[in-house]
Amino acid sequence: MIGTMVRQLINGASLEEIESGGLSQYYADHDKAVYPISASGVPFSAASIQSKGDPRADLYEDMAAEQKARATYEYLIQMADDPDVIDPLRFLREREVVHFQRFGEALRYVDDYLDSKRVFTMPNQKQG
């Protein structure tokens, strides 16, 4: 959605508008194509995806990622003045809140399961 929004905003922009909007370097590298990068210019890569293998650690990581995304959308909303930009950003921010809540529910299920007492049996064992 963000890529589509950026594409729609920049699609009809003149070179003067691109320069005055501070997008000269982006334009030089990517024209008006969508190229996912951070606000500081770091391209998106799989290196930003975390996976520890421990369900609790991974769910906490997911929850932190949702909160970071929510905060980023809030910062973007604070800087925006176009209602056609603010409304989708609000929608995306609310989605992050819901995602955080769903990961929290999953964490409670995992906690309950991992903390539950389990009995393991070995069938067909000879009694000694």
Residues that bind Fe ion (CB under 5 A): 66, 96, 99
Nearer to Fe ion, 32 or 93 (CB): 93
Alpha-carbon distances, residue 92 vs 26, 101, 123 (angstroms): 24, 14, 52
Closest CA to 62 of 105, 30, 21: 105
- Which CB sits closer to Fe ion, 32 or 104? 104
CA–CA dist 55, 113 (Å, integer): 11
Least distance in angstroms from the C-beta of 128 to Fe ion: 55
For Fe ion, the closer of residues 63 and 96 by Cβ is 96
Shortest CB 99 distance to Fe ion, Å: 4
